[in-house]
A and B are shown apart, each in its own frame.
Chain A
Amino acid sequence: MSNSAQAEIRREGETAVVYANEYLNKITGEKIERECRDKIAQGCSRLLVSFRDTEIVNSIGISILLGVIDAASGANAEVVFTDVNPDTAHLFETLGLSRHARIVTA
């Protein structure tokens, strides 16, 4: 279930799954980056960011995703963006995020 009040993150073995929701696009989205750093520190080697409940991604959201990528690259962890809608996938492509994370469209 999605909850826009706080970051939703769960761990499945080596993989951490985080739901981006809408607050990715606000300063509160920094929590996602922090949680991802925590999970990597705990030994996760794969970060799965789900955009199931995310309509659009603005500049703050892009910056936070770059923070997630930065966190992962320091630990050689893989980043996957899943359930990405075509428009957002296109944006990730254009801005070059696709060079740093695997993108799986919805």
Chain B
Amino acid sequence: MPESEQKLIHTFSALADIGQEVAHKYNFHEMIRTSFHLLLGSLAIMRGGIARYSRFGHELNFLAVRGLGDDFPVSASIDPADEREFLTAGMSAIEASQAKMLIFFQRYQPFVEKRGIELIIPMIVHDELVGLVMLGEKASGEPFNSADRAIVQAMARHIGVGIYQRNLLAELERKAEQNRRLYEEMRLTYADTVKSFAAAIDYKDKYTEGHSVRVGKYSELIAKSLGWSDERVEGVAVAGYLHDVGKLTVEKRIINSPTRINAKESAELSKHPVVGYDILLPIHHPYTDVPLAAKYHHERLDGRGYPDGLKDDQIPYIAKIVNLADSFDAMTTNRPYKARRPAHEVIEDLQRNSGKQFAPELVTAMFEGMLDELEGGSEDKSFRRLLGREYMEAEGIIPMLRNALNGINATGPLTLVASE
């Protein structure tokens, strides 16, 4: 094979390989090292280096070097004037001997001269300086001719694209991380807002202190027992926290009346679900159905609830959960006109009203959650925390819950199993 032809094939193979390398290597540093070998090996260049440019720090960081000595700096700062100079030069190789006007060159001249750097090639992609290639002498001792320059420029362009892609990816990852954090912050802010709303609602009603917060927690426990995802459980909890937000507009005197209220006052109080809906509707909630839960949390399966007297399958599922949680809390706490009822009575009541007021599968889910906690199946102690240990561990509760679970017909005539 003629000498020139063999050399040409060798060089062009390197150029082809570098294209493959940049396009297909997923490991950035391996891609850089392989490309560096291909670049040096294509023309048998004795020494050199590839540096990535950081626009933020205005510095070059060397990713690969060969034969530049141990004292060669791993990073080097670049003056903005140099950056402009490199951008003007474009991708063309700059002779080290003609680069003396660069501040960069003046700063690092001892290294460049001592190590016999002959060519400096700025890597520019989309009008952006992404790095620099430095090349020393060829093994043959011959100077770089115009064909040689064309080759190394083409290879440097490939490497530059590889670095540019990596920068884009890093930027994308940074943005995604930023978004994730922002979303997390918003979620926390939302959760805080919800909690302070719940506190504001409960503050108005001195006899049912902590009611909204407890309804939130019971709703959460029911949804968990149904096996819902964390996000949906969170949504149900929020609906519980906010279900009585409409009470903020009801006169404090009516809410806090120590005796049973009259018909007019009752009518005033029963507006709170719709008022709550109106308050919550314009707010952008990260979860669906929060306003609907407020509007329909006093509806009953048998159609005897308010405000619309909806029946079973017309009632949004989330409202059924909040309704059960709300009633459960009303039964298990002291009210001005009624003392808290013992656990066995509450269980009986829920069982009896299952299919009339409450969705049977929700009562089942709640009982299962309680039983799971009492029998030590779960680490959770929420029911005991909310109701008190003595109350929850009253004699005969466990067999009663088991019995109740056997007795409830989860697909009673009035109930459609939720299509969740």
- A91: B residues at CB distance < 8 A: 6-7, 10
**Contact of B41 (CB < 8 Å), options: A62, A69, A94:** A62
Complex Cα spacing A58 to B9, Å: 10
A-B contacts, 9 listed (Cβ < 8 Å)? A60-B37, A62-B41, A63-B36, A64-B41, A67-B67, A70-B66, A93-B3, A94-B7, A99-B139
A61 near B41: Cβ-Cβ < 8 Å: yes
- A60: B residues at CB distance < 8 A: 17, 34, 37-38, 41
A58 near B7: Cβ-Cβ < 8 Å: no
- A95: B residues at CB distance < 8 A: 7, 10, 43-44, 138-140
Q: Mark A5-22, 1 if CB is under 8 A from B, else 0.
A: 000000000000000000
A59 near B139: Cβ-Cβ < 8 Å: no
Q: B40 near A: Cβ within 8 Å? A: yes
Could you say which interface size class chain B belongs to?
20 to 34
Q: B142 near A: Cβ within 8 Å? A: yes
Q: Most chain-B Cβ atoms within 10 A of its Cβ — which of A62, A91, A97?
A: A62
**Contact of A90 (CB < 8 Å), options: B6, B36, B45, B139:** B6
Q: A27-B37, A69-B139, A99-B139 are in contact. List 5 more A-B contacts (CB 8 A).
A: A60-B17, A64-B41, A66-B139, A95-B139, A97-B139
- A100: B residues at CB distance < 8 A: 139
A59 near B14: Cβ-Cβ < 8 Å: yes
Give residues of chain B (125-144) contacting chain A, Cβ–Cβ below 8 Å.
138-142
A58 near B13: Cβ-Cβ < 8 Å: yes
Q: A87 near B: Cβ within 8 Å? A: yes
Shortest distance between the CB of A46 and any CB in chain B (Å) = 20
Dominant SS among interface residues on chain A: helix
Complex Cα spacing A61 to B40, Å: 10
Complex Cα spacing A60 to B33, Å: 10
Complex Cα spacing A96 to B140, Å: 4
Q: A residues touching B (Cβ–Cβ < 8 Å)?
A: 27, 30, 58-64, 66-67, 69-70, 87, 90-91, 93-97, 99-100
Q: A27-B30, A66-B46, A66-B66 are in contact. Are A94 and B3 (CB under 8 A)?
A: yes
- A67: B residues at CB distance < 8 A: 66-67
Shortest distance between the CB of B224 and any CB in chain A (Å) = 52
Give B27's nearest chain A residue, CB to CB. Answer: A27
- B14: A residues at CB distance < 8 A: 58-59
Give B139's nearest chain A residue, CB to CB. Answer: A96
Give B45's nearest chain A residue, CB to CB. Answer: A66
A99 near B3: Cβ-Cβ < 8 Å: no
Complex Cα spacing A90 to B3, Å: 7
- B138: A residues at CB distance < 8 A: 95-96
Complex Cα spacing A27 to B140, Å: 24
- A58: B residues at CB distance < 8 A: 10, 13-14, 17, 41
**Contact of A94 (CB < 8 Å), options: B6, B34, B45, B67:** B6
A63 near B40: Cβ-Cβ < 8 Å: yes
Complex Cα spacing A97 to B45, Å: 10
Shortest distance between the CB of A86 and any CB in chain B (Å) = 10
A64 near B67: Cβ-Cβ < 8 Å: no
Q: Most chain-A Cβ atoms within 10 A of its Cβ — which of B30, B40, B41, B66?
A: B41
Shortest distance between the CB of A92 and any CB in chain B (Å) = 9
Q: B47 near A: Cβ within 8 Å? A: yes
Q: B1 near A: Cβ within 8 Å? A: yes
Q: B42 near A: Cβ within 8 Å? A: yes
**Contact of A99 (CB < 8 Å), options: B6, B17, B38, B141:** B141
Give residues of chain B (17-32) contacting chain A, Cβ–Cβ below 8 Å.
17, 30
Complex Cα spacing A5 to B257, Å: 87
Shortest distance between the CB of A84 and any CB in chain B (Å) = 14
Q: A58-B13, A90-B6 are in contact. Are A27 and B33 (CB under 8 A)?
A: yes
- A97: B residues at CB distance < 8 A: 44, 139
Shortest distance between the CB of B17 and any CB in chain A (Å) = 7
B38 near A63: Cβ-Cβ < 8 Å: yes
User: Across chains A and B, which 8 residue pairs bring their CB atoms closest together, nearest first?
Assistant: A96-B140, A59-B41, A62-B41, A63-B41, A59-B14, A95-B44, A96-B139, A63-B37
Complex Cα spacing A30 to B43, Å: 18
Shortest distance between the CB of A102 and any CB in chain B (Å) = 14
